[in-house]
Amino acid sequence: MEPTLRLKCTLAYQGTDFAGWQYQPEGRGRSVQACLEEALARLAGRPVRAHGASRTDAGVHALHQVAHADVPAARAHLPWRRALNALLPRDMAVLAAEEVSREFHARYDATAKTYAYTFWLEQGFLLPQRRPFVWDAGSLDLDAMDEAAQAFVGSHDFAAFQNAGTPVADTVREVFSITRHPGPTPHEAVFRVRGGGFLKQMVRNIMGCLALAGQGKANAQTVRSLLETKDRTLAPATAPARGLCLEHMEFGGRGRKRRHQGPDGDPGEHLPDQERLGGL
């Protein structure tokens, strides 16, 4: 059997023209995973499977996605970062490529991740350069959004904030923090959500609820009530994908030791505590 080494790749991509991280059937759009695997295969001289830490949805961006792949040990001498970037499309890039232990697993060793969601706050005006990366939601009461955001922090059943499409064993997740930051222009506000794992489109659903709070149509009590109902049909609409970006992945090396096998759906279903790392 051919000796291999495990390669850890840190990726950034503009999600606008991708159908998400996960490989898609022919005709359903290109995926980040497929583009990475194609480049890896050309350099490895054989097919290569890439495993991502998070299955970002169509239109979602990333500044710090992580993936691992096993490549021939005989190709260890290759300048993998430079070689991959020469083959990848212009809307994605490898920030780092390094050999890691064979025990490392991008999905199961992840312990937390941080997503950032950017709101554009001025009605009737939007910089064209920022259009692919913001939700032009208009004027919002940011203090009211801050107050409502804190009701999401902690361990809760987030069934009311999970979109259909990926069955999971349970819907309890822990949000470590939600904080607001200035955006790159005076017209923007960025909300960063750090958690041990998320349900399908959970962060975008939280942002949809915060937008209502910013419009005076919801508050912290609304959030608590929705969490108690566990009913998705009662919760606000999902915020657009374009405002969301996977900013940071954290790895502690504990996840793989406690790995549970489950259906190949949400990349964390049937995994306890910090190992639940779903897509958004």
CA distance 210 to 220: 9
CA distance 173 to 151: 14
3.30.420.40, 3.30.70.660, 3.40.50.300, 3.50.50.60: CATH of 111-251: 3.30.70.660
CA distance 212 to 203: 14
Do 111-251 and 4-100 fall under one CATH topology? yes
Domain ranges of the chain: 4-100, 111-251
CB 60 within 8 A of CB 279: no
Q: Report the predicted TM-score, pTM, of the whole model to 2 decimal places.
A: 0.89
pLDDT of 153-206, one tens digit each?
999 999 999 998 777 889 999 999 999 999 999 999 999 999 999 999 999 999
Query: SS3 of 233, please?
Result: helix
CA distance 159 to 235: 10
> What is residue 61's predicted lDDT score, i.e. its pLDDT?
98
Residue 275 has φ and ψ, to the nearest 5°, of: -80, -10
> What is residue 268's predicted lDDT score, i.e. its pLDDT?
34
Residue ranges for the chain with pLDDT beneath 50: 255-278
Annotated binding site: 115
pLDDT of 217-246, one tens digit each?
999 999 999 999 999 999 999 999 999 999
Q: Which CATH architecture has domain 4-100?
A: 2-Layer Sandwich (3.30)
Residue 54 has which token pair?
């998070």
> What is residue 144's predicted lDDT score, i.e. its pLDDT?
98
Annotated binding site for substrate: 115
> What is residue 23's predicted lDDT score, i.e. its pLDDT?
85
Query: SS3 of 203, please?
Result: helix
> What is residue 169's predicted lDDT score, i.e. its pLDDT?
87
Residue 218's region, left for phi above 0, alpha for psi from -120 to 50, else beta, is: beta
CB atoms under 10 Å from CB of 124, counted, come to: 6
pLDDT above 90 covers a percentage of the chain that reads 84
Active site residue ranges: 57
Which residues in 16-34 are b (16+ Cβ under 10 Å) and which e? eebbbbbbbeeeeebbbbb
